[in-house]
Amino acid sequence: MVTISNTTLPPEYFGSGRTLDTITGVDKTREILFSISIVLCIALVWLSARPKLKVPILLSDTIKSKKQRVHEYAVRSRELMSQGYREFPNQVFGIDTKDGTKVVIPLSFLDNLKSHPHLSFKACIDNVSIDQPSAINTMLTLDQDMLLEYTLLGGPPEYVIHAIRGSLTPSLPQYIPILHRMIKSTQIKTLGTYKDWTPVEIYNSVLQVVGPCSARAFHGDIPSQNPEWLEVTTGYVVTVFDSIKALKKWPPYLRPIANRLLPYRAKIDHQWAKARKILAASLKQKASLGGKAINEPPSLFDHLTSEKSPASKESIDKQLIYQMTLVAVGTMSTFSTVVQCIYDLAGFPDFIAGLREEALSCPRDEDGLFDKDSLNSLKKLDSFIKESLRLSSGDLTTFHRAATADLTLPDGTFIPKGTKIETNTCAIHADNTKFENATSFDGLRFYKYRQKPAQEHKHTLVAVTPNDLAFGFGKHACPGRYFSQIVIKIFLAEFLINYDVKCLPGQSRPKNLEFEAMVDPDPEAKVMLKSINTHS
C-alpha cells in the first residue's frame, strides 16, 4: 500500500497555498454537505407525500400575500377572529400567523375533542417537534405559544397538574384567611393613600400585592416574605411576557438572532440563577426536616418534594422549572385579571355601591378575616369578575391543542400531526345568541343567571362550560383557577372597602393591548383613586 503525503508530490500539484490535508478537508466538507442534502431531499419527499392540511384560510380571497395576512392578524386579531366567526359559522377555518397556520375549530367540536388522546395542551405550549425527521426539526416546529426555547416557560408536566388538583386545591379553604391577612397588610401600603381624587398607575402595585400570595401557595411562607424571591419571581412574570411579545414580532427563523439582540434572555438567565440559589436553600431546609412539610398548610413545593413525588423531590432543576413556570403563568393571569376588574370598576361605576355593600356585609371569622363562606357569599363580585373575564380575558382563543398524531375532526377535516388547533373564544363571548347584548358590560349578568332555578352553581366564576371559556375547556381547563379566584376576590373586596375609583376626567375605561391572541391590560394606564377613611 502506497502512502501519499505532501512530500511525495510536488507543490505545483496542489496549486498555490494548497496541500493534501486542505484538499482532504474540503472533500470531507463536501461529503458532509452531500449527506445533509440527501437527508433533506428524503425529508422533503417524505413531507410532500404526506396528506396536507386543507382548510379555508381567512382573508385569502381578499389578501393574496401570506405575509400581509400574517401582519393583519398580528395587529387586528380580535377583528379578524370575529370576521372568521361570521364567515365560517360552525366550520373549521385557518388563520395565517408568524408561526404557521392555526386551525380554528367551532364550539360544537369541543365535547368531542376535549379528551382526545392525540391532542396535547403541553405540546401546544412548549416549543417541541413531534417526531419530525431530525434534519428538519429546526424547520418544522409547532406554534410556540410560550416560546420555551427562549423564555424557558413551558407547560407543566401532568404530575404537577395532579399535585395542584389533588393536593393544593383541597387545602385552599385553609389558605383563605392567610391570603386575606397578607392582602390586608399590603394593599394600602402598596397602592397608597389619597385624601383627594388622584391619578394612579396601578399595574405594578397590583403585581406587588398578588406576587407574595402566589409565592406562599407555590413555594412557602418564608419565600413569600423574602424580598429577593419576590423580586426574582415578579420580575420574571414581566420579563417573560415582554420577551414573548417581542420575539413573536420576528419570523421563527430569525428568532435565534433576535433573542441575542434583545435584552430579555440575559434578564431571564439572571432571574433563574438567583431563583436556583433560593430553591437550593428550601430543599436543604426540607431535608433537615426529614422530608416533612415546611409549611402548614403545605405549599405546592411541599407536595412536589414529598414521597408522593419521588422523581422530583430532590431535583433542584425540576423544582426550579416548576416554580418559575407556575409563578409566571399563575401570577400573570391572577394579577392581570385584578387590573382588568379595577379598570372595569372605573369604567362602569354604577356597580360599585352594590359590590361594596356585599363586601362589607359578608361573614368573617373570629379574627375578622374571610373564610370559605365569606367568598361563597360574594355572588355579585363573582359575577363582576366573570363578566370582566368574558370581555377581557388574557387570550382571544382557548382550547389550545397540538396534534401529536394525524387525526380527523368530527366534520371529516384531516389534521396532520403537528398542527395547532384552538377555538374562537373572543367571538363566542361576543355572540348575541349566547349572551344578551353580548358586547355590553353587565357586571351582574351571571348573578342574574344564578337566580334562575337549578342555575345556582352553573354560572360561577370557576365554572367551565362551552359558553364560558375564559379558563379553557375539558381536562386541561386551568387547574389553578380555584386558587386564583380566591386572590382576585379578596383583593377586589378589600379594594372596594378601601378605595373609590373612576376614570380620568373625559376618558373612558383604559383600552386593552392586543397582539395576536394575547390580551393585556395597559400597564401605563391610570385611574382616579380616592381613599375611603372608614373601613372594617
pLDDT (tens digit per residue) in 160-199: 888 999 999 999 999 999 999 999 999 999 999 999 999 9
Rounded Cα gap, residues 190 and 351, in angstroms: 25
Cα 330 to Cα 186, 220, 297, 320: the distances in Å are: 20, 15, 19, 15
pTM of the model: 0.85
Whether the Cβ atoms of residue 371 and residue 179 lie closer than 8 Å to each other? no
Q: b/e string for 177-191 if b means 16 or more Cβ within 10 A?
A: bbbbebbbebbbeeb
Q: Which three cell numbers stand for residue 429?
A: 363571548
Q: Which helix (H) or strand (E) holds 159?
A: helix 158-163
Whether the Cβ atoms of residue 51 and residue 416 lie closer than 8 Å to each other? yes
Rounded Cα gap, residues 143 and 126, in angstroms: 8
DSSP 44-101: HHHHHHS-----PBTTTTT---HHHHHHHHHHSHHHHHHHHHHHSTTS-EEEEETTEE
Q: b/e string for 48-70 if b means 16 or more Cβ within 10 A?
A: eeeeebebebbbeeebeeeeebb
Structurally, at CATH architecture level, domain 156-394+430-531 sits in: Orthogonal Bundle (1.10)
pLDDT number for residue 10: 43
Cα 36 to Cα 33, 136, 309, 482: the distances in Å are: 5, 10, 43, 51
Rounded Cα gap, residues 351 and 82, in angstroms: 28
Rounded Cα gap, residues 101 and 421, in angstroms: 9
Q: Which three cell numbers stand for residue 40?
A: 433533506
Rounded Cα gap, residues 480 and 66, in angstroms: 37
Q: b/e string for 254-287 if b means 16 or more Cβ within 10 A?
A: ebeebbeebebbebbeebbebbbebbeebbeebe
pLDDT number for residue 445: 97
pLDDT number for residue 43: 54
pLDDT in tens, the chain (536 residues): 444 344 443 443 334 444 444 444 545 555 655 566 666 666 555 455 567 899 999 999 999 999 999 999 999 999 999 999 999 999 999 999 988 899 999 999 999 998 898 888 777 766 444 443 333 232 233 334 667 777 777 777 788 888 999 999 999 999 999 999 999 999 999 999 999 999 999 999 999 999 999 999 999 999 999 999 999 999 998 898 888 889 888 888 898 999 999 999 999 999 999 999 999 999 999 999 988 999 999 999 999 998 776 666 678 988 998 999 888 888 989 999 999 999 999 999 999 999 999 999 999 999 999 999 999 999 999 999 999 999 999 999 998 888 999 999 999 999 999 899 999 999 999 999 999 999 999 999 999 999 998 888 889 999 988 888 888 877 778 888 999 999 999 999 999 999 999 999 999 999 999 989 899 999 999 999 999 974 44
Per-domain residue ranges of the chain = 1-30, 55-155+395-429, 156-394+430-531
Which residue's entry shows cell 345568541?
433
Rounded Cα gap, residues 328 and 203, in angstroms: 16
pLDDT number for residue 115: 86
Q: Which residues are annotated as a binding site?
A: 478
Q: Which residues are annotated as a binding site for heme?
A: 478
- Helices 316-347 and 481-498: crossing angle, nearest 10°? 40
Other beta carbons within 10 angstroms of residue 250's beta carbon come to 16
Rounded Cα gap, residues 421 and 121, in angstroms: 10
The DSSP bridge partners found for residue 119 are: 403
Q: Which three cell numbers stand for residue 408?
A: 380527523
The one-letter amino acid code at 339 reads V
Q: Which three cell numbers stand for residue 1?
A: 500500500
Q: What is the dihedral of CA 264, 269, 270, 274, to 10 degrees?
A: 140
